[in-house]
Amino acid sequence: MRPLLKRSKTIFWIGVLSFLGSVSVMGIVRPVSHPAIGPDSPYGVNGPWKKRLEHYFRDAAIHHSYQLNASALKSLMAQSRKRHQLLLLLDVRQTNGPEGFRQGHIVGARNIPLQSFGPELMELVHASPTSPLWHEPIVVMCYDGDGANLVTVILRLFGFHAWNLRGGIGTWNQNMAGWLHNAPVNWPTMTGNVKGLESTSSPKAGSDRLPRSLVRAVSTIFTRLYHPYPLGYGYPWTIDSGTLYAALHSAHAPEVIDLRSTEEFRRGHIAGSINIPFAALGQHLNLIHPKMKVVLVSQTLQTAAQANTILRLLGYHSYVLKMGMAGWQPSTFSWPISHNFPLVQG
């Protein structure tokens, strides 16, 4: 019995030391690796097309996550008018409401509410190969950038030259800036040298894209995101900071993936979060639990919203921290610049 007891104690202390080696007071140091297979895609994005989704992160990182600020969009609109080129502006906000499309929108923008975008996507994808839609920019906008990033990612995956208006319509005109309302309280952060995953060098964006045969299945993402959410969660697949704070102190805490750079992460992050820079996420999907809730964090939700689209298409139970770290610790971040560019109503 003594040797067996001694062996049991040895195994116990090995386990304790292993645990302490993987966790520190600063957060997770060596994230747990999950089965590489991952979840099944409810949209049929498996096999070789799963690889296309995994490549998205490094491709998007080269191009600043396919985002335009309001000044760049204003210049692009002027150039398009001068050259008589097509520039499709898609506004995916709700038609009515206090900050809806009819209350104010960019002249020439086309309103397709986010939950109704599925049929529009199928029509765009089945457009003639000679259509200018395949060759000219498409700029997508919404309230704060969340829904617009969702649409931009999917259009990009099918081969369109899509961009999103960074920060949403509120950066175009401050009268529509919902994120300028009362900021939430400051939740605690942690600082320090936490071992993260450095971004690797990224190759140029590839020409591979999802086939037309997948568009019908993928288009259902727009109806699936529009369903009742639990208290504290919202549309499309967001979680507010207070709900996340409470969830992290519950028995079923979600995984938190911080997509910012290692330097930004070290300056301040949510306790227990895992740092995987956006460009490297596709290479490290095995660090994301295939069945647990996952909350994605970026500075102002923009890149997190793009990552959430990919993870949802792959079958992960992912959410976006509303307003990102700017909503978790608003006193430590500057809000997006808001212009007073013209709007039209109706």
User: Structure tokens of 273?
Assistant: 């979060």
Domain that includes residue 165, residue range: 69-175
Is residue 295 within 8 Å of residue 252, measured between CB atoms?
A: no
User: Structure tokens of 245?
Assistant: 């704070």
Complete DSSP assignment for 227-265: S---TTEETTTEE-HHHHHHHHTSTTPPEEEE-S-HHHH
Q: What pLDDT is stored for residue 269 in this prediction?
A: 94
Q: What is the CATH number of the domain that holds 306?
A: 3.40.250.10
Asked if residue 232 belongs to a domain, the reply is yes
Q: Rounded mean pLDDT of 141-146?
A: 91
Q: Rounded mean pLDDT of 121-133?
A: 93
Asked if residue 192 belongs to a domain, the reply is no
Question: Where a domain ends, among 175, 210, 237?
Answer: 175
Asked if residue 311 belongs to a domain, the reply is yes
Residue matched to tokens 């309280």: 185
Assess whether 254 and 319 both reside in one domain: yes
User: Residues near 64 by Cβ (< 8 Å), separated by ≥ 6?
Assistant: none
* % residues pLDDT > 70 (the chain): 83
Question: Where a domain ends, among 175, 210, 241?
Answer: 175
Asked if residue 284 belongs to a domain, the reply is yes
Assess whether 74 and 171 both reside in one domain: yes
Distance CA 124, CA 127 (A): 5
Assess whether 166 and 233 both reside in one domain: no
Asked if residue 223 belongs to a domain, the reply is no
User: Residues near 190 by Cβ (< 8 Å), separated by ≥ 6?
Assistant: 26, 27, 268, 269, 270, 271
Question: Where a domain ends, among 142, 175, 208?
Answer: 175
Assess whether 237 and 317 both reside in one domain: yes
Whether the per-residue pLDDT at 222 is higher than 50: the answer is yes
Assess whether 86 and 154 both reside in one domain: yes
- Structural domain tally of the chain? 2
Phi then psi dihedrals of residue 246, to 5 deg: -65, -40
Distance CA 208, CA 159 (A): 8
Asked if residue 156 belongs to a domain, the reply is yes
pLDDT in tens, 14-73: 444 343 333 333 334 446 666 556 799 999 998 888 888 888 998 888 888 999 999 999
Distance CA 305, CA 297 (A): 9
Whether the per-residue pLDDT at 346 is higher than 60: the answer is yes
Q: Name which of 21-25, 212-216, 329-333 the model is least confident about.
A: 21-25
Assess whether 156 and 232 both reside in one domain: no
Q: How confident is the model at residue 257 (pLDDT cuts 50, 70, 90)?
A: very high
* % residues pLDDT > 90 (the chain): 57
Q: How confident is the model at residue 175 (pLDDT cuts 50, 70, 90)?
A: confident
Assess whether 322 and 236 both reside in one domain: yes
Assess whether 249 and 160 both reside in one domain: no
Assess whether 295 and 234 both reside in one domain: yes
Assess whether 238 and 162 both reside in one domain: no
Assess whether 88 and 169 both reside in one domain: yes
Asked if residue 17 belongs to a domain, the reply is no
Asked if residue 113 belongs to a domain, the reply is yes
Distance CA 98, CA 177 (A): 11
- Region label for 47, one of left (φ > 0), alpha (ψ between -120 and 50) or beta (otherwise): left
Assess whether 78 and 164 both reside in one domain: yes
Whether the per-residue pLDDT at 173 is higher than 50: the answer is yes
Q: Rounded mean pLDDT of 172-186?
A: 73
Q: How confident is the model at residue 226 (pLDDT cuts 50, 70, 90)?
A: confident
